[in-house]
Chain A
């Protein structure tokens, strides 16, 4: 069974996968509790726009999606918080706008091929060494920032107005959260895929919420479910040959449905 680790691309996939599962669990928890569950999907489609720009201009398919997603995430948060626009409307506009431009750019570059398929659904063979270093370094940064501001971020997530009245710079914490999410999503698209990364951010925390425990325990459960989903998904993807993102999300979905069924009995 352990011959899976003889392959270098699988070693890379496991390192990146575990890093991304930690990222998506930490960031997804705050995003879902903020009722901002559409954000990961929107950012992943914006990352696709970055892929389109990369294909047309022949520039890095890693850095351009990160840059485009981060700038868009900041614009989304500015419009929501400062301009008081409805968040679901802002997200919907960015999602459809980014997707429309991305399709045109990919069409221009004749990019509708197998490579695009791996961006949409994820591929374990697609992870480069550069992505391994970036993912691990970014995960460390993200864990440090979130643990360092844990209570401020939690207060902001529960009740923005009270948090602001207590002196917390709510706008900057929201901006930090959406920016970190943008980078995490852009990094995740190679392994999980643009169409499925949103589910990986939403499903583990949704499962953990069914246990109705306090926040610290909910966060731990979310981490465990997310890591378990990604590791099992990578094994199944390797041995069964299914697209990685799809199988990871399917495992997370099975855990969610099983837990839900357990609460209904």
Chain B
């Protein structure tokens, strides 16, 4: 079943076309990498999916409902770009930060009940940060902060997790663990994951779909076939090939667009 259905999507500002003619479906349980050059419209596409900006043309359906009429906020968790750069001095504990993921669903004048506290505990445990609950954000490493933001996104039990360049500012070892964690969320909890990345190694290892975007959709398909698509290979250099985190090489011959 398609949980996201995009048709002829267009987004333009007064000055220029940012995205045009974009169409794709995302199925429940997909693990999708969104790639493309800087300024190619990846973040804009994510913002449209999140309902942060309205497309200027085309249609987006989430869970079968027209995007404009129904918002499925609770079903979508979002981890923004550069979480490691969040205000170092902001006085928030890990527990308080994760609890913010429930803020939108709570009516005015309501406090966290037992059910909410259980949800926060589950999110802390699934992100393996339960032992950090009393720590302030300023005391955490980049990788730990990344997990806190994921726990905040997970606390409302989303069906889709959208991450904007999640490994930025995180060291290599933490990155590897982080992608393992994302993969486990996808495999064990059947959470559909969409993330923007420049890390081609991750694409080769884990994801089952790649969307390559540069104003238009250049490619939609498996990671292995991606560089066989001439338009994509031009983005990253015609002689490039993917070297995965496990050092497997993927070569191709002929066009697969």
* A and B part of one assembly: yes
A residues touching B (Cβ–Cβ < 8 Å)?
Answer: 33, 35, 147-149, 151-152, 154-155, 158-159, 161-168, 208-209, 212-218
Q: Are B96 and A214 in contact (CB under 8 A)?
A: yes
Which B residues are CB-close (under 8 A) to A166?
Answer: 73, 78, 101, 103-104, 156
B residues touching A (Cβ–Cβ < 8 Å)?
Answer: 50-52, 71, 73-74, 76, 78-80, 86-87, 89-93, 95-97, 99-106, 108-109, 134, 136, 138, 152, 156
CB distance from B92 to the nearest CB of A (A): 5
Given A213-B136, A214-B91, 14 more contacts at CB 8 Å? A33-B90, A151-B99, A158-B86, A158-B87, A159-B80, A164-B52, A165-B80, A167-B105, A168-B103, A209-B91, A213-B91, A214-B92, A214-B95, A217-B91
Please judge, given known A-B contacts A151-B102, A154-B103, A155-B103, whether A165 and B50 are in contact too, CB under 8 Å. Answer: yes
Q: Are A152 and B90 in contact (CB under 8 A)?
A: no
Which A residues are CB-close (under 8 A) to B100?
Answer: 151, 154-155, 158, 163
Q: Are A151 and B106 in contact (CB under 8 A)?
A: yes
* Those 10 A-B pairs whose CB atoms lie nearest each other, nearest first: A167-B73, A151-B103, A214-B93, A167-B104, A165-B78, A218-B91, A166-B104, A155-B100, A148-B109, A165-B50
Complex CA–CA separation, A208 to B73 (angstroms):
34
Q: Are A168 and B104 in contact (CB under 8 A)?
A: yes
20 A-B pairs with CB atoms under 8 Å apart are A35-B87, A151-B106, A154-B96, A154-B100, A154-B103, A155-B104, A158-B87, A158-B90, A158-B97, A162-B80, A165-B76, A166-B101, A166-B156, A212-B91, A212-B138, A214-B95, A214-B136, A215-B92, A215-B93, A216-B96
| In the complex, residue of chain A having the shortest beta-carbon distance to the beta carbon of B49 | A165
CB distance from B165 to the nearest CB of A (A): 14
Complex CA–CA separation, A216 to B134 (angstroms):
12
| In the complex, residue of chain B having the shortest beta-carbon distance to the beta carbon of A167 | B73
Which A residues are CB-close (under 8 A) to B105?
Answer: 167
